[in-house]
Structure 1
């Protein structure tokens, strides 16, 4: 029997409805179920990414009555329609179908809580309609509890779908389950929806369309998913954790194939959006989030979190947090340091233990080996920041800038009370409280800091007669 190739992208007459109106009561959360995240991405966004990658043009998301948060999370090119009352998946499809582009003839329906579905599976299911009137994803599960069971006829097509609550003993023993990914011939669907009746609980089930199709002599094709995890629906926190583990496994496998060494993949957490170069070594308990980019040859961890940051080549970071920063090549950070947003660290800088840097530029080759704080600062190249030195950037009302010139020496326990400028090659003595600008080559000590003769101005001592 001829049919469209399974891996062929849908044409302009194909559309998709994503079901996101469920309350998700078993999540026990004030957050809508489809906004819980897997791999740093909301469930609904993961499904929509797969739908878009599969090539479906007209995409509609059916949301519940109290759905402002869900609608706010949707991409601008996706339409949301409201299911006023939670009357089941069949009714949700009816609501979506009313808003579908009238040119659509092939429709895929997928749950917004199935974050592991791939674009390939969506295309494959859609590729069976036509010739079939209905196609549905199925999967073999060792533990099918919670899923509707799929009963096949002698030709391998779907004979019926039985919701678990209504299944007999033999039907419950069936391991072939409903993956809740359907494809429909749209003209047939529009005519069939008004004919399906409610289940005993009053809801209209999408699976009732299978019985309607069979009664009308139509073919319902079973499309077996090779990776049964794709049909995992997230209804509980435990299922959310399972989905998270699957995504993490996919990511870590891809990274290792691309030339990244993971000392312990099971304790490595990398968002799919993260880009990592070759010959990077990642130790246990590392978390790479958001739009992070890591250059070749870096060594990260153990115990490192990097969020929305760009890390240059051959950087070493361990037991530290870097967020919203741009880190140049050959930088060393840690242990136990924090690099906060809007910070740029240039090449060959060392940031040692218990240091914090925020909204600052740190010039190439600068050394900050021990605990200290740089906030709202501009530090030139080759500067030495002594242990315990801090920029006092906040006066209780406004935050002020500190500028430290190239090759300056900031002594241990120095307090730089902003706004203040330390000139090139200037020095501050240990424990100084600097409240005024220090000129290039100048030296200050004390509380408050006062100038002492500059090394530049000192004449060499004359030899004494002996």
Structure 2
């Protein structure tokens, strides 16, 4: 028996007041619809179909990395109509289809798994996801007889007794595929809105004597996001959930409320994170790291025992026991070795830095391959761009680069070579040699006194 998922993502989301499709707005760095897709996949629903509408080009582009298929709802005519538009996807399949909304990013894998287990254990034709809340005003009530759902009643249609029911419908379901497809044929839009409602399928199945079940979860998980304010609420809930997850796994936050940790970030135990830190994308932070204030790390891999101080690391790798910052900038596609020092106001771009190398301050390294135990003096610049093309520089093991050196790419500095401070290097430096590339010092004694005398006369001193 197969497990399939439909994600409803065709809504226009007018209340968001945005040119971006509602389901592509992000919560903790990930699009809402991708939160739902990833959760369904992690719960074992590998075959996912996304139902898209007017903004389908946007939604398809925003979910293309997830390997999903698509169905199109040209004109929004209700949730039941959306599922009818996916009938071709379901045709010929056997098993269970989960139907979830793409604007409910707080749903958890454990909840989907529990819902599926209940659906299978009870051999239900349909299972609803529900919540019990203290103030259910405005929500459709779930009327039960023990474990079995009798009906869903909209708030305006409830009797006084039904209004006392605290269990509400979350709008997420699991169905036996064949029974769902048969029921969709009987669905009609004979209502004031002229729409096809998925909730009516429950009534159709119930009318046939089919078993309808329900699985209860926390209300926060079922929150749909329809406005910027609700987006902010979802963000706050998700941020706390992420922070607590990492704290339970051995990470220390000195103030988790002032940090930003993305949904797909992994952090090793005994790492300490200070205020103002932002860790985004698919980032891995090792154990025993210290991330000091106002650092940003995106789509990067950080080894064990690394310290990062007020610095930016983008799409790069940093080896264990390396120190970065303060105020360093590691740009994409850089690989920094172990026991490296990347000091203050250092910028590294698309370069490989070997173990034990020291780049202490005020240095730019771009398009370079740097070996082990190299020392870069203050103010070194690798001049990698000639106005048309980027060129590569190679600095081999144990080289020493003096302060205020320019390395004009392409150029190679071989093992153990020394470069005198203030040099501009344009040619290869041989192994174990000293390169000096600067003008010879000239001293003109008495020049200042002559200058002062001639200045009075209006003459120029040479």
TM > 0.5 fold call: yes
- Shorter-chain TM range is 0.7 to 0.9
Matched-pair contact (CA < 8 Å) for 1:411–1:429 = yes
Structure 1: give runs of 5+ residues left out of the alignment: 1-10, 450-466
Map 1:21-420 onto structure 2 (within 5 A): 21-56=10-45, 58-72=47-61, 73-74=63-64, 78-126=68-116, 127-128=118-119, 131-142=123-134, 148-153=139-144, 155=146, 158=149, 160-163=151-154, 175-193=166-184, 194-214=186-206, 219-225=211-217, 227-420=218-411
The whole-number CA distance in structure 2 between the counterparts of 1:311 and 1:266 is 23
Q: CA distance change for structure 1 residues 368 and 448 in 2, over 3 Å: closer, same or farther?
A: farther
> Relative to 1, partners in 2 of residues 1:387 and 1:174: Cα closer, same or farther, differing over 3 Å?
farther
CA 1:388 to 1:171, structure 2 compared with 1: closer, same or farther past 3 Å?
A: farther
**C-alpha distance in 1, partners of 2:66/2:269?**
35
CA distance in 2 between counterparts of 1:180 and 1:277 reads 37
Q: By how many angstroms is 1:251 displaced?
A: 2.4
* Residues 136 and 221, structure 1, Cα contact 8 Å, conserved in 2: yes
**Would the aligned equivalents of 1:411 and 1:427 in 2 still touch at CA under 8 Å?**
yes
TM-score normalised by L of structure 1: 0.83
What displacement does 1:75 show?
Answer: 5.5
Decide whether the 8 Å contact of 1:330 with 1:347 is kept in 2.
yes
Kindly state the Cα deviation for residue 444 of structure 1 after the two structures are TM-superposed.
0.8
In 2: Cα distance, 1:443 partner to 1:58 partner:
63
Tell me: CA distance 1:413–1:330, structure 2 relative to 1, closer, same or farther (3 Å). same
Conservation of the 8 A alpha-carbon contact between 2:362 and 2:378: yes
By how many angstroms is 1:47 displaced? 1.5
Q: Which shows bigger deviation, 409-418 or 148-157?
A: 148-157
Shift of 1:135: 2.5
Would the aligned equivalents of 2:420 and 2:434 in 1 still touch at CA under 8 Å? no
Once the two structures are TM-superposed, the CA of residue 114 in structure 1 deviates from its matched residue by 1.6
Instruction: Give the Cα–Cα distance (whole angstroms) in 2 for the partners of residues 324 and 412 of structure 1.
Output: 29
Distance between the aligned counterparts of 2:258 and 2:330, measured in 1? 23
Q: 1:131 to 1:437 in 2, by over 3 A?
A: closer
Q: Measure, in 2, the Cα distance between the counterparts of 1:314 and 1:409.
A: 26
| Count of residue correspondences | 436
- 1:26 alignment partner, SS class: helix
* Contact kept? 1:60, 1:100, Cα under 8 Å: no
Task: Please give the TM-score of this superposition, normalised by the length of structure 2.
Answer: 0.84
Instruction: Mark the CA change 1:191 to 1:271 in structure 2 (over 3 Å): closer, same or farther.
Output: same
Q: Does 1:20 align with 2:14?
A: no
Q: 1:199-246: CA deviations, max 9, x gaps?
A: 322222222334444555555434321x22111112222222222333
> Root-mean-square deviation (CA), in Å?
2.9
Provide structure 2 residue ranges, at least 5 long, that are not aligned to the other structure. Answer: 442-462
1:207/1:389 CA distance change after superposition, 3 Å: same
